[in-house]
Every structure is written in structure tokens, then in C-alpha cells.
């Protein structure tokens, strides 16, 4: 359509695939570029403030922990009068049925766990957030994906997928920006941004940045998996099926349903039969105990789990166990920073050709990235913990 476009993504592998795909169309060479970063990384740089006529966030919001903060950063780089285009998934029982149950488990068009119902974005809530940030909702419509033809269609209902075009009506405030007001109101210390923001190529001059990001993302992914599979009240066999079990000698982590038969005995006892893989009994017991509030009993090849009464104390035990896992994840992130900052500082300035200033800037960028990841971890833990603690008995 003639636009000049920059595509961004925090996952390096996604950017790499996009660049390979773009090479198939030489007409895009001068108008399309990619950058491995977050929208937050752009909104803190003066050159990007109010510089874009349009922003497209397609199938992004349902994977973001703090949607309102994400929209705030989009607003900072969007020109007054510019448009924000969003496509995402509504938070309705029908969307769970269509996207998660059929899409991931029945048709298997997406890997299991791609989506979490808790992170789907209710359309009314999104409209309120946009209006609070100074947007006018210009258009909204429902759409659907038809898996057999592989095509998208507009629909009269917005109960599953929907699209919004919102126009920015107000320029940025010349005083305190919205983010600063939020932090001041909560008296919360804001993560200190690096004095000089480096791109991936500059970081790779100093350290193996791809390896660092892969390790950091694995820590975050493992923690998110823990919350999704363990930070929950469990009263049925279905609730135990997706528990992850690490069996010695196997490269991959297995789900309990892959290695055991689960059944109910009476109204309050779950039986986990591991006769087909007795070597998994010990790691399964360990995984069950890590859930918090559960003490499994072993007899031969079976594990018996008393279904816990869902009390306030039980919920608090689950949250306490999750906080311990969060503390370990944050410790792993700090260790990762120590490992790679030491590698950066150990560079031979003269032999490597890397300047001392670049090394200092790289360490500063690493510190910011680790602090940002820890903030995201804390935010996710709080959101899921509040959900558990505020459930009705």
C-alpha cells in the first residue's frame, strides 16, 4: 500500500523469520525494516515520540500481562490524529471454546498453551482503556478464522475475535506523562532506563546476546508455565492432568496425563496410576508437593491425593508456593545478569576492538532488561494470586 513500516518483536527468532520472509519481495527492501525490541524500548527515545501515523497490534494483546501500560507506550509514539489498529480475542466462553478447546486441543492448529483465557481482552474493557488514554473509537467489528479454507471473514458478532480502529485525539502532555503520574501516585520506584539504548547488533558486539535472551526467556516461560499449571485450586482429575513432571533420563518435561491414568475414588480422592512408568513416581510426588497444600501418599505404583477443601488457607498455601517459585526465578535472572555482565567486563578492550563505553552501555542495558523482566514476573504473580485469593468458595 506504499507505507514505510518498522516491525518490532521482543523474540529474536520471530524477527529472524520475518526478515527471511521479507527477502522474497524485493519491492519492500527500501520500505520495510525490523527491530528486535519492545514498544517500551521505542517510547523512551526522543526520535520515536509521536513519529508514527499508524500502529498495528495484531494478535498481540492476548499475550501481554499489562495491556493498559502497553497501550500507553503505543500512544507515546503515535502522532495526534494517527490510528491504532488492534485485533485480539474477546474474553467470553465462546472464545475459550473456539480458540483454546477447538484450536489447540481438537484441531491442533496451535500448540497447547499458546493462549490463556485469563489474558483474553474484554472488548468493553479495552474501549474504556482507549478512551481514558484520549482515543476515539472510530470502528469496531467482529471477525472469525475459518480453518478449512484458511481465510478470515467479518462477522456481525464480536464474541470471539474483534478488530478496533482508534484515533488518537489528544497530543502528549508537556508536563508529567501518564506513566510518571501512575508511578508517583503509587509511590513506586520506576525502573531506571539505560542512558544509551543499544540495539541487538551492538549488544552482540559485547556478549552472546542471542544466548542471553534465550536463557532469560526460558526462565520467564518456565515461571509462567508454573502459574498456569500450578497456581490453581484443584478439585477434579482434569485439574491435575497438565501438571509438568521431569523424569530423569528424558530430555522433555511431560504432562501427568501423558504418563499416568487418573481417576476419582469416591468424592474426595484422586488416584494416579503410574504402573506404565514407575520411574516417574518420585518426580510426580515432588511436582504434587510443589503445588502447595497437597501431601500425596504412595502405594505400589499408585499415588493417592486427597482432594483439598478449597478454603482461604488452602488458597494462601497455593500462593505461598508460587511466591517461592517466583523468588527462585528472580534469583536465576539475577544470576544470569551476573554471568553476562562479567563476560562483558572481562573483554580485552584493545584485543577485541570493543570500546570501554560500549561495554559499560551493554551492562547498563542488561541491568534494565533484567529489572524489566522481574517487574513483569511480579506483575504476573500478583494478577494470578489475586485471582486465586478472591475466588468464592
Q: What is the CATH number of the domain that holds 171?
A: 3.40.50.150
Backbone angles phi, psi at 31, to 5 degrees: -120, 0
Full domain range(s) for residue 182? 38-186
Asked whether the predicted pLDDT for residue 184 surpasses 50, the reply is no
Determine, yes or no, domain membership for 2. Answer: no
Rg (C-alpha) for the chain, rounded Å, is 24
Q: Are residues 301 and 315 in the same domain?
A: no
Burial readout 233-268 (b: 16 or more C-beta within 10 A, e: otherwise) = ebeebeebebbbbebeeeeeebbbeebbebeeeeee
pLDDT score for 266:
73
The answer to whether residues 347 and 302 belong to one domain is: no
Instruction: Find out whether 235 and 314 touch, Cβ atoms under 8 Å.
Output: no
The 3-state DSSP class for residue 139 equals strand
N-term to C-term CA, the chain: 55
193 three-class SS: coil
How many Cα atoms are found within 13 Å in the side-chain-facing hemisphere of 98? 17
HSE of 190 in the Cβ direction (CA atoms, 13 Å)?
A: 12
Instruction: Answer yes or no: do 115 and 177 share one domain.
Output: yes
pLDDT reading at 44 higher than 80 = yes
Same domain, residue pair 47 and 113: yes
pLDDT category at 182 given cuts 50, 70, 90 is very low
Q: Are residues 101 and 173 in the same domain?
A: yes
Question: What is the pTM for the complete model shown?
Answer: 0.46
22-24-29-31 Cα dihedral, nearest 10 degrees: -50
pLDDT band at 6 (very low <50, low <70, confident <90, very high): very high
The rounded distance, in Å, linking the Cα atoms of 280 and 303 is: 11
What is d(CA 158, CA 103) in angstroms, rounded to the nearest whole number? 18
Distance CA 303, CA 315 (A): 23
Task: Tell me, yes or no, whether 72 and 121 share the same domain.
Answer: yes
Q: Which of 11-20, 158-167, 237-246, 273-282 has the highest mean pLDDT?
A: 158-167
Instruction: Please provide the size of the chain in residues.
Output: 393
Domain count within the chain:
3
Are β-strands 52-58 and 135-146 bridged in parallel, bridged antiparallel, or unpaired?
unpaired
> Are residues 95 and 181 both part of a single domain?
yes
Q: Are both 301 and 319 inside the same structural domain?
A: no
Note whether 42 and 100 are same-domain residues. Answer: yes
The dihedral through the CA atoms of 206, 211, 216, 217 has a sign that is positive
Give the confidence band of 5 by pLDDT, cuts at 50, 70, 90. very high
308 band by pLDDT with thresholds 50, 70 and 90: low
Amino acid at each position: 500500500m506504499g507505507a514505510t513500516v518498522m516491525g518490532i518483536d521482543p523474540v529474536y527468532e520471530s524477527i529472524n523469520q520475518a526478515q527471511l520472509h521479507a527477502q522474497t519481495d524485493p519491492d519492500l527492501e527500501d520500505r520495510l525494516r525490523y527491530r528486535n525490541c519492545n514498544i517500551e524500548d521505542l517510547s523512551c527515545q526522543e526520535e520515536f515520540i509521536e513519529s508514527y501515523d499508524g500502529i498495528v497490534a495484531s494478535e498481540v494483546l492476548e499475550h501481554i500481562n499489562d495491556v493498559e501500560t502497553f497501550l500507553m507506550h503505543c500512544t507515546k509514539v503515535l502522532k495526534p490524529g494517527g490510528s491504532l489498529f488492534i485485533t485480539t480475542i474477546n474474553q467470553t466462553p465462546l472464545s475459550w471454546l473456539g480458540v483454546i478447546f477447538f484450536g489447540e486441543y481438537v484441531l491442533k492448529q496451535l500448540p497447547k498453551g499458546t493462549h490463556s483465557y485469563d489474558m483474553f481482552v474484554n472488548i468493553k474493557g479495552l474501549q474504556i482503556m482507549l478512551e481514558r488514554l484520549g482515543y476515539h473509537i472510530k470502528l469496531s467489528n467482529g471477525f472469525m478464522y475459518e480453518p478449512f479454507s484458511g481465510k478470515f471473514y467479518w462477522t456481525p458478532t464480536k464474541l470471539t475475535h474483534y478488530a478496533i480502529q482508534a484515533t488518537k485525539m489528544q497530543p502528549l502532555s508537556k508536563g508529567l506523562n501518564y506513566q510518571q503520574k501512575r508511578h508517583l501516585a503509587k509511590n513506586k520506584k520506576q525502573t531506571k532506563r539505560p542512558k544509551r539504548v543499544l540495539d541487538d547488533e551492538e549488544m552482540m558486539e559485547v556478549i552472546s546476546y542471542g544466548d542471553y535472551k534465550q536463557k532469560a526467556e526460558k526462565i520467564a516461560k518456565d515461571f509462567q508455565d508454573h502459574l498456569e499449571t500450578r497456581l490453581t485450586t484443584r478439585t477434579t482429575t482434569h485439574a491435575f492432568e497438565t501438571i509438568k513432571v521431569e523424569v530423569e533420563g528424558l530430555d522433555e518435561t511431560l504432562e501427568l496425563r501423558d504418563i499416568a491414568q487418573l481417576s476419582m475414588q469416591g468424592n474426595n480422592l484422586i488416584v494416579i496410576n503410574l504402573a506404565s512408568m514407575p520411574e516417574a513416581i518420585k518426580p510426580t510426588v515432588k511436582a504434587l508437593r510443589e503445588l502447595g497444600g497437597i501431601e500425596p501418599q504412595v502405594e505400589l505404583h499408585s499415588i493417592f491425593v486427597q482432594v483439598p477443601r478449597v478454603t482461604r488457607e488452602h488458597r494462601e498455601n497455593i500462593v505461598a508456593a508460587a511466591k517461592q517459585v517466583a523468588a527462585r526465578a528472580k534469583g536465576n535472572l539475577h544470576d544470569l545478569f551476573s554471568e553476562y555482565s562479567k563476560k562483558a567486563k572481562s573483554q580485552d578492550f584493545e584485543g577485541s576492538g570493543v570500546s570501554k563505553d560500549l561495554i559499560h552501555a551493554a551492562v547498563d542495558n542488561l541491568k534494565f532488561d533484567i529489572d524489566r523482566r522481574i517487574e513483569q514476573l511480579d506483575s504476573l504473580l500478583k494478577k494470578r494470586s489475586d485471582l486465586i485469593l478472591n475466588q468464592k468458595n
